[in-house]
Copies of this chain bind each other. A is one copy, B any other.
Amino acid sequence: MTTTGPHGAAPRRRRGRPGYDQAAILRTAVELFNRKGYDATSMGDLARELGLTKPAIYHHVTSKEQLLGQALDDALDELTAVVTEAAEERAGRTAYERLREVVRHSVEVLVAHQPSVTLLLRVRGNSGVELEALDRRRRLDERLAALVADAAAEGALRADLPPPLVSRLLFGMVNSLVEWYRADGTYDPATVADAIATIAFDGLRPRGDQAS
């Protein structure tokens, strides 16, 4: 990213507009991809939003698909780290405790990386980049399902619900965050993480218990 760069074509002298770097273009692109959908967003839309011409974008970026791939990698790297961390904490912690931690850390990642995670959760598999992302995501979901199964095997989860179904619904609730969460101060991430854990593990009904 300094002097010459790998292409020999890196800008040595600055001329004209101050210019954007790749990261700034990526941020704007991901924001547009989420607002309109990836396919409905044209490189012309992105150029207008940036105040550049369409060809100018290709000075910083090789393709529209590359922008998508970088966002998906960001989301997947972060989510993978959450799951891997929990797996490495095996010593001295129950699966239930690790599952609760995964839920909490997942919420933190969803909030901190909401744009790229939102994009990930909407991928349909229309290209090589998308199919690769779907595959990585599927492997993540399998590791989460295994963690839920371990917690159930410990007896920490009620036995009358199939663990794979529980995993789907629990992380379905977590993932639904990206559809409505706004970092506008209404709820901070810890409040949301607590609410999800409370609903999922303890239930909405007041404790002390009664039946309908």
In the bound complex, how far is the Cα of B177 from the Cα of A175, in angstroms?
12
Interface string of A119-162 (1 = CB under 8 A from B): 00010101000000000000000000000000000011111111
Residues of A179-212 at the interface with B, using a CB-CB cut-off of 8 Å, are 179-180, 187, 191-192, 195-196, 198-212
Residues of A48-100 at the interface with B, using a CB-CB cut-off of 8 Å, are 96-97, 100
Q: Of B39, B172, B203, B211, which one neighbours A39 at CB under 8 angstroms?
A: B39
- On chain A, which size bracket covers the interface? 35 or more
Interface status of A166 (Cβ within 8 A of chain B): yes
In the bound complex, how far is the Cα of B162 from the Cα of A87, in angstroms?
32
Interface status of A10 (Cβ within 8 A of chain B): no
Given contacts A39-B39, A126-B40, A176-B175, contact A166 B204 (CB under 8 A): yes
Q: Of B173, B179, B204, which one neighbours A158 at CB under 8 angstroms?
A: B204
Known: A39-B40, A100-B212, A157-B205. 19 other contacts (CB 8 A): A35-B124, A36-B124, A37-B38, A37-B126, A39-B39, A97-B212, A155-B206, A158-B206, A158-B210, A160-B198, A168-B180, A172-B176, A173-B173, A175-B176, A200-B204, A201-B203, A201-B204, A202-B205, A208-B209
22 interchain pairs (CB within 8 A)? A37-B124, A37-B126, A40-B124, A97-B212, A157-B204, A157-B206, A161-B195, A162-B195, A165-B187, A166-B204, A169-B176, A170-B199, A171-B176, A172-B175, A172-B179, A199-B203, A200-B204, A201-B205, A203-B203, A208-B209, A209-B211, A212-B212
